[in-house]
């Protein structure tokens, strides 16, 4: 039952518990208890709302920063990741394969904000060997959801 609950709420965390119970064929209390247990166990880590910031007046910029580091003896990458994810500007940190060790998602108001974070806080860390910053220009799909951008009529105008 856990995997089915997780599958449903991952796509829509606002699903009504009564509806979820009906879909699963169990009592609503059983679903509520199972969700509460998974929250206590750290399986469910939080609930998020996906927002298309391009449709608001709020200026937000997202950057992906690839980071190459020297792992710390006895701790591997974990301590370095902890130092990075504790910065307020950092949205996500992932250990990745390839030429870099971490993918760090940063949010700021301007490119200057992000650049300043990378140059003043991230790059000077003892374990950081190098970084490569990529700015997100447009989101087409985010967390499994297609961002609803206005579609333009791409047909050619034919005039007599």
Let me know: does 34 contact 2? Beta carbons within 8 Å. Answer: yes
Let me know: does 14 contact 49? Beta carbons within 8 Å. Answer: no
Mean pLDDT in residue range 86-103: 96
Q: In degrees rounded to 5, what are phi and psi of residue 118?
A: -65, -45
Higher pLDDT, 146 or 78: 78
Residue written as tokens 């969700």?
35
* pLDDT for res 13: 86
Confidence of residue 93 (pLDDT cuts 50, 70, 90): very high
Helix axes 2-11, 17-24, angle to 10 degrees: 130
Mean pLDDT in residue range 20-39: 93
* pLDDT for res 149: 58
153 pLDDT more than 70: no
50 pLDDT more than 70: yes
Higher pLDDT, 10 or 123: 123
157 pLDDT more than 70: no
Q: In the 8-state DSSP scheme, what is residue 19?
A: H
* pLDDT for res 54: 77
* pLDDT for res 91: 94
* pLDDT for res 111: 92
151 pLDDT more than 80: no
- Cβ within 8 Å of residue 99, ≥6 positions away: 66, 68
What CATH code is assigned to 53-138?
3.30.70.920
* pLDDT for res 10: 86
The whole-angstrom separation of Cα 119 and Cα 128 is 11
């Amino acid at each position: 039952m856990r995997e089915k609950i997780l599958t449903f709420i991952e796509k829509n965390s606002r699903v009504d518990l009564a509806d979820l119970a009906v879909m699963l064929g169990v009592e609503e209390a059983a679903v509520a208890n199972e969700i509460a247990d998974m929250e206590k166990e750290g399986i469910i880590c939080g609930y998020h709302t996906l927002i298309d910031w391009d449709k608001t007046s709020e200026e937000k910029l997202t950057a992906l920063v690839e980071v190459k580091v020297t792992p710390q003896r006895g701790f591997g990458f974990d301590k370095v990741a902890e130092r990075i994810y504790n910065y307020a500007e950092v949205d996500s940190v992932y250990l990745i394969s390839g030429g870099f060790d971490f993918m760090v998602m940063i949010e700021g108001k301007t490119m200057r904000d992000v650049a300043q974070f990378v140059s003043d806080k991230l790059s000077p860390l003892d374990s950081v060997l190098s970084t490569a910053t990529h700015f997100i220009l447009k989101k087409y799909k985010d967390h499994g959801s297609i961002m609803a951008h206005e579609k333009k009529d791409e047909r050619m105008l034919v005039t007599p």
